Structure 1
Amino acid sequence: MRTRFSLHLLALAPLGLVLTSPVTAAASMDNHVITAKAPVDATRYSGTVSVLTADDIRRSGATTLSRALQHLPGVYLSHTGNVSQQAPRIRGFSHEQTLVLIDGKRVPNTDRNLSFAPAYRYNWVPMSQVERIEVIRGPGSSLYGADAMAGVINIITKKASSQWQGNLNGSLGHLDGSHQNDDFGAALRGPLGDKADLSLSVSERNEDAIKDDNGASLTSDMRSRTLQADLGFDFNTDNRLELGLLYGEEKGGDIDISDFMGTTYTSDYRLDQTRRRLSADYLTRLGGFDFQAGASQGKADLTEGRSDWTIDEDNYQLELNGALGTSQHLNMGLQHRRETVSRSDMNFHEQVDATTLTLQDIIALTSEHSLTLGLAYDHHSKYDAEFSPKLYWNWQDDSGWGLRAGYGQSYLAPSLREGSSEYVIQAGPFRRYEGNDDLQPETNRTYELGLSYIQPDWRSKLTLFHNRIDNLISTREFQQGPVTVARYSNVNKAQTQGLEAEFDLNPTEHSRVSVNYTWLDSQNRSGPHDGKTLVDTPEHLFKVRLEHDLPRHDSTLYAAWRYTGSQYTNAINSDKLDAYQVVDLGLGTRLGAHAHMRFGINNLFDEVIEQGGELLEPGRELKLTLSADF
């Protein structure tokens, strides 16, 4: 299957060898950053990117996307939403400001369009069916348009090959106390004759609620199911049709709440979500370029307590990609998105259309130097048009030294509820939230400078970044009689800047060491909190991973340490959460030729970190994972 794509990548090999690192050129055809939409690996990407493979995820024991990402530089987890779910944050930005893709396609952005910014975009596919995860830290608007202000998370799932393959997997976790979680998954993929292929996977996850000493819920109990189906047809070596379905159900139980007297009662809040995404893509050759035409339809129906939401997102895309001569690689895209949000319990309905034209040209100036020029033009049905340029220079020499410098802009339109005066919601008898027709998009200007040194057995990398964010959306409060009105407004300017240092080493054939450190400086630049540090942005992140294979026992030892520095928990910087650290241990072993078992102890020293009713670290967890391939 997919002969056309491998042949055309080989046709680009001369350009690819220029654009990829000399150290990794031999393997570059297999290590392209798919999210870059060009034949470049991570060393030549015009920005900062981290790649997690299926083996990385398996060795870490992660069964959720957030847990898989927590050891990456510049990334940390926060809890958000009414059911308190984990969400990854990049370089101090909110999780809402990151674009999430599955196989390069959007999913409905429930995080931005629902109240209280829940984290519902991260459980569409189980980790056992993920081939790799690419995380771009920095603006991605020049390729993907709006929503990619903080970065891009692209989840790439496993695809069918020329032989039938299958997988069964399950895990059981036990937290100190009564909390348990379990998940199960199955997958089957392979050819249907000579011209077609099929991939199927299903999963189910169950998680008990975590409660404090008074019986109040820190997290809700959750039950989720997913289904993924992909069908491909190869009409000939140059023409392919791909059809896809993602479907999921997620249910959360009632939440027990403690009042100020310490009395615990059960609220009528519960979650009931059904989501799906249908997609169709046609891939062919046009004028010497790869051409792709695609459409996807995403829909999420949610009940949160007494709130009934429907979020629809329809996307249409044309893309032309390929070499222009012997020294340039061109990508041109046209995207149209229609987004609709309805809340039936308050007769709220809003719809917007956005059209984005993107252009990226990677120019190989010499065998060592390349220049990336990017530009996106966004036309929004409600807001002024936006241009998002990108300029990036890369240098990589034969000895392994590399240097890169770049500038990029990105923007994020207000969510549909924030940007509509029709959105008015009561929060008790004396408080009200209101949308605002006069909002403007948030914008960001990013500067990056990076230095790297790569050798066959070790790699080091240093990145400096600076973000200047304008028109940040928050609430501005005013009195209207006895009622406090919180209206969404462009009230803030902010900046985040810092340093990311990475070091990877293979000290022996069977050992791997990964160390990264992030220094993050953030502050408001306007309003009553001018000069104050942004909320929930730790100044220091320090992470270490150690892996050692035991060939005689067909096993792998795993150890990880995470340090999260202190962080302010309110805008006036009067309350602070102290620094904390977490240690994870694991042992994975093969059981015969086709099975694998892993036992892990997460949070070995039982660090329970709670802040304002949000559970950042739940304590020690014992985790057993079993999988079988056939």
Structure 2
Amino acid sequence: MLKKIRWMAVVLLTGLVMYPLPLMADHQGAGQNSTLVLEPTVVTAGRIKEKKSDITTNVTIYTREDLEASSIQDLSDLMLKEGFMVREYPNSTISVAIRGFSTDTHGNDLSSSVLILVNGRRAGTGNLAKISMDNVERVEIIRGPASVQYGASALGGVINVITRKGKGPFTASLEGTLGSWDYKKGTVSMSGAVSQFDFDVTGSKSSQGDYDTGSGSEYRNTGFDSKERFSFNGGFTFLPQNRVGISYSDYSGDHIGSPDYLSANDPDDYVNHGIKSYDVYYDGQTRDDFLFWNIRYFKGKDEYETHDGAMTPSRTYWRDTDSQGAQAQITAKWAVAQITAGWDWVDYEVSNSNTVAGKENTYENPAGFFMVKTKLLEDKLVLTGGGRYDEYEVTSDTGKVKEDDNWSFSCGAVYKITGELSVRANYAQAFKMPTADQLFMLTDYSAWGMGIWSGNENLKPESSETYEAGIDYTRGSLTGSLTYFHTDFEDRIAYKSIGGGVTQYTNVQGGTLDGVEGSLQLDIGAMFGWDWEIVPYGSFTTFLEYEDDETNEKFQYTPEWSAAYGMRVNHVEYGLNARLNFTHYGRHEITDYEGTGATTLGPDTVADFSVGKELFDMNKFGKIRLKGEINNLFDRDYALVQGYPSPGRTFYLGLNYTY
């Protein structure tokens, strides 16, 4: 406990020591190099565009410039570099945790406790490897529950990936990247707007060979034959701020190595997986900005299959998830208040190797919600509240049906003490519904030594209540934030032996998650009026308590400390940017599936370095830019999952031409 207090004191003292520095920047920068910085907006927290300073929860935003500064291939690369707890298997099966809750990589997003969205609707997967970064405008992350806004599975938080829309004159780009382990990637994109029409289209293909670990060991079967990504987003604006659009995305991974533990390296097993979806939507508003509305229909398919190369035929397990859904919402804005109300509907059909032939498990979930926000005391005080009602019906492949419903509520407040300093508080409920397997499965795994696994039709939804309070400070070139959160987690779904060789899903007590999040950054260049942007930064999450209420044991795969820190440098005139980033994962409890006797994993600190330089600006003929990156700069031998060591020092070099 004293160690945590010391660290918190360091963060707070750093902010206090730096407090007078922005005053120097304000004085020295007056009348020279003056730049107006617009406050970022965020759409995830309240499902509409809002100022970040009006949000009562802790929200993090990554812009397009942040994403393009390094060789980010999928969503997991971003989350890794930003200090989130990521569990990554070599076969592109990747989960991320927020505040002790994580996505689920082995099923659809109904099994997750962190919800991934694409443009505000459910992505249909909990596997970060399937979410492309090729066409992303920004990523917004709610740290903490968001079931009132988005329904089931948002206990730990929400990751909203927002894709690009075409605007301005026509642009096109071509990029090629080479890297260690015979990595190759080519990307082509086009974007623009003509009259009332706009479009953005991007396609890429990559491949990679087997890699070596930080200790120099060859890790066979860790490469992949190809990963292909394609996306399209087009629209027609028929009135000011009224746009109809259609989007399509397709990811396919072919022959992705599934090597098992390094200690039992399997040379021929592999995975094929993919996800595709399309959306049709309409965003509109009245001329007087009083009413805003959104209507969307989406449909998708998630595919996964494993292959044992030593068997004929080779396919050993497959799972297909067909999903569709709709959203409709409207917002009315008055001078001091706004009300948003809407309706959501999602429908899943899941079939796999174990379901009855020609049948599937289905999940249907209609829901209604409302959210209210008011501003008082000359907009210094912001009050929010909301509620949501969900109904769900789960039907098994054998015809068994489970129906249930759930109410969720939230409320919060922000008080802006000054233009630079504000405090906030929030209370929110969240839930996760049982899946069809958890309710109805009866599968005999005796041949693998695991006996019979049974569902439980009496399962209740998992639920949580989270209280948080935070402080945000922005002045001149200094930005800082500190958030305390406390979560009571109830009716956790686990599995227990009930005798006779039967393991059954059941509700257990749950647990308590209590911790602190913080971030701090200072633009030294802006402080002294330089043309250079020189920004040391850091962010962290520490848990004060993360225990199971029934066993008093710490939650597994939850490090006491995780952090990201480093320095970024940018010079617009020179077309130069660079970043040195360190990611730290503290020691955390694990289950020893490998059989080595280990009970913990970590701690580890991994460094990455990236740099980009504009080589030629040919005016109307375009620009050429060179990008380089070194991941695992110091060649650390580390693993994000026990027995699956990550790659050693890895180099990337890319060349981009933009017209």
Q: Same fold (TM over 0.5)?
A: yes
Asked whether 1:86 is paired with 2:115, we answer: no
- Show CA shifts across 1:539-577 (max 9, x none): 112321201235674322321122221111139997122
For residue 463 of structure 1, what is the aligned residue in structure 2?
Answer: 483
Match 2:525 to one of 496, 504, 508: 508
Q: Is the Cα–Cα contact under 8 Å of residues 474 and 492 in structure 1 kept in the other structure?
A: no
Question: Percent identity at matched positions?
Answer: 20
For residue 233 of structure 1, what is the aligned residue in structure 2?
Answer: 236
Q: The residue matched to 1:63 in structure 2 has which SS?
A: coil
Match 2:456 to one of 413, 416, 436: 436
- Show CA shifts across 1:181-206 (max 9, x none): 332211112224x2322221111122
Match 2:363 to one of 346, 349, 352: 352
The alpha carbon displacement at 1:236 in A equals 2.8
Q: Is the Cα–Cα contact under 8 Å of residues 432 and 486 in structure 1 kept in the other structure?
A: yes
For residue 583 of structure 1, what is the aligned residue in structure 2?
Answer: 607
Gaps of 5+ in 1: 1-22, 112-118
Q: The residue matched to 2:94 in structure 1 has which SS?
A: strand
C-alpha distance in 1 between matches for 2:640 and 2:191: 44
For residue 246 of structure 2, what is the aligned residue in structure 1?
Answer: 243
For residue 565 of structure 2, what is the aligned residue in structure 1?
Answer: 544
For residue 380 of structure 2, what is the aligned residue in structure 1?
Answer: 368
For residue 488 of structure 1, what is the aligned residue in structure 2?
Answer: 505
Q: Is the Cα–Cα contact under 8 Å of residues 460 and 491 in structure 2 kept in the other structure?
A: yes
Equivalent position amino acid for 1:83 in 2: N
Equivalent position amino acid for 1:135 in 2: I
Q: Is the Cα–Cα contact under 8 Å of residues 50 and 72 in structure 1 kept in the other structure?
A: no
Asked whether 1:145 is paired with 2:151, we answer: yes
- Show CA shifts across 1:46-101 (max 9, x none): 2111001111122243232112123436x221125x83633221111122211111
The alpha carbon displacement at 1:353 in A equals 1.0
Out of 283-292 and 304-313, give the one that drifted further: 283-292
Q: Is the Cα–Cα contact under 8 Å of residues 425 and 434 in structure 1 kept in the other structure?
A: no
For residue 204 of structure 2, what is the aligned residue in structure 1?
Answer: 203
For residue 275 of structure 1, what is the aligned residue in structure 2?
Answer: 275
Asked whether 1:105 is paired with 2:121, we answer: yes
C-alpha distance in 1 between matches for 2:380 and 2:326: 37
Q: Is the Cα–Cα contact under 8 Å of residues 583 and 607 in structure 2 kept in the other structure?
A: yes
Superposed, 1:371-410 pairs within 5 Å as 371-381=383-393, 382-410=402-430
- Show CA shifts across 1:389-417 (max 9, x none): 11101011334111001100000112332
Equivalent position amino acid for 2:339 in 1: L
Q: Is the Cα–Cα contact under 8 Å of residues 410 and 444 in structure 1 kept in the other structure?
A: yes
For residue 328 of structure 1, what is the aligned residue in structure 2?
Answer: 337
The alpha carbon displacement at 1:253 in A equals 4.0
Match 1:316 to one of 314, 318, 326: 326
Match 1:77 to one of 86, 102, 109: 86
The alpha carbon displacement at 1:222 in A equals 5.6
Q: Is the Cα–Cα contact under 8 Å of residues 33 and 45 in structure 1 kept in the other structure?
A: no
For residue 13 of structure 1, what is the aligned residue in structure 2?
Answer: none
C-alpha distance in 1 between matches for 2:199 and 2:37: 27
Q: The residue matched to 1:517 in structure 2 has which SS?
A: strand
The alpha carbon displacement at 1:597 in A equals 1.3
For residue 453 of structure 1, what is the aligned residue in structure 2?
Answer: 473
For residue 13 of structure 2, what is the aligned residue in structure 1?
Answer: none
Q: Is the Cα–Cα contact under 8 Å of residues 326 and 346 in structure 2 kept in the other structure?
A: yes
**Compared with structure 1, are the counterparts of its residues 604 and 27 closer, same or farther at alpha carbon in structure 2 (3 Å cutoff)?**
closer
The alpha carbon displacement at 1:40 in A equals 2.5
C-alpha distance in 2 between matches for 1:616 and 1:498: 29
C-alpha distance in 1 between matches for 2:278 and 2:460: 31
For residue 651 of structure 2, what is the aligned residue in structure 1?
Answer: 622
Size of the aligned set, in residue pairs, is: 581
C-alpha distance in 2 between matches for 1:250 and 1:316: 28
Match 1:160 to one of 157, 160, 166: 166
Q: Is the Cα–Cα contact under 8 Å of residues 211 and 218 in structure 1 kept in the other structure?
A: no
Q: The residue matched to 1:43 in structure 2 has which SS?
A: helix
Asked whether 1:592 is paired with 2:616, we answer: yes
- Show CA shifts across 1:295-345 (max 9, x none): 10111232223112110111011110231x211122111001111111145
For residue 124 of structure 1, what is the aligned residue in structure 2?
Answer: 131
In the superposition, the TM-score normalised over structure 2's length comes to 0.82
The alpha carbon displacement at 1:30 in A equals 5.6
- Show CA shifts across 1:169-224 (max 9, x none): 232221xxxx34332211112224x2322221111122334467886658453621
Equivalent position amino acid for 2:124 in 1: P
Equivalent position amino acid for 1:166 in 2: A
Equivalent position amino acid for 2:184 in 1: D
Q: The residue matched to 1:618 in structure 2 has which SS?
A: coil
Equivalent position amino acid for 1:371 in 2: L
For residue 19 of structure 1, what is the aligned residue in structure 2?
Answer: none
Out of 608-617 and 240-249, give the one that drifted further: 608-617
The alpha carbon displacement at 1:616 in A equals 5.6
**Compared with structure 1, are the counterparts of its residues 626 and 41 closer, same or farther at alpha carbon in structure 2 (3 Å cutoff)?**
farther
**Compared with structure 1, are the counterparts of its residues 34 and 531 closer, same or farther at alpha carbon in structure 2 (3 Å cutoff)?**
closer
Superposed, 1:280-291 pairs within 5 Å as 280-285=280-285, 288-291=290-293
In the superposition, the TM-score normalised over structure 1's length comes to 0.85
- Show CA shifts across 1:484-539 (max 9, x none): 43322223411211111211110113211211122124433344xx1111111111
For residue 226 of structure 2, what is the aligned residue in structure 1?
Answer: 223
C-alpha distance in 1 between matches for 2:337 and 2:494: 43
Match 1:133 to one of 124, 135, 139: 139
Q: The residue matched to 2:134 in structure 1 has which SS?
A: helix
Q: Is the Cα–Cα contact under 8 Å of residues 442 and 452 in structure 2 kept in the other structure?
A: no
Out of 403-412 and 518-527, give the one that drifted further: 518-527
Asked whether 1:42 is paired with 2:52, we answer: yes
Equivalent position amino acid for 2:254 in 1: K
**Compared with structure 1, are the counterparts of its residues 189 and 492 closer, same or farther at alpha carbon in structure 2 (3 Å cutoff)?**
same
Equivalent position amino acid for 2:245 in 1: E
**Compared with structure 1, are the counterparts of its residues 470 and 34 closer, same or farther at alpha carbon in structure 2 (3 Å cutoff)?**
closer
The alpha carbon displacement at 1:104 in A equals 1.5
Q: Is the Cα–Cα contact under 8 Å of residues 601 and 642 in structure 2 kept in the other structure?
A: no
Equivalent position amino acid for 2:200 in 1: S
The alpha carbon displacement at 1:153 in A equals 0.6
C-alpha distance in 2 between matches for 1:225 and 1:329: 43
For residue 189 of structure 1, what is the aligned residue in structure 2?
Answer: 191
Q: The residue matched to 2:53 in structure 1 has which SS?
A: coil
Equivalent position amino acid for 1:390 in 2: S
The alpha carbon displacement at 1:160 in A equals 0.5
**Compared with structure 1, are the counterparts of its residues 437 and 580 closer, same or farther at alpha carbon in structure 2 (3 Å cutoff)?**
same
Q: Is the Cα–Cα contact under 8 Å of residues 589 and 601 in structure 2 kept in the other structure?
A: yes
C-alpha distance in 2 between matches for 1:562 and 1:289: 44
RMSD between superposed Cα atoms in Å: 2.8
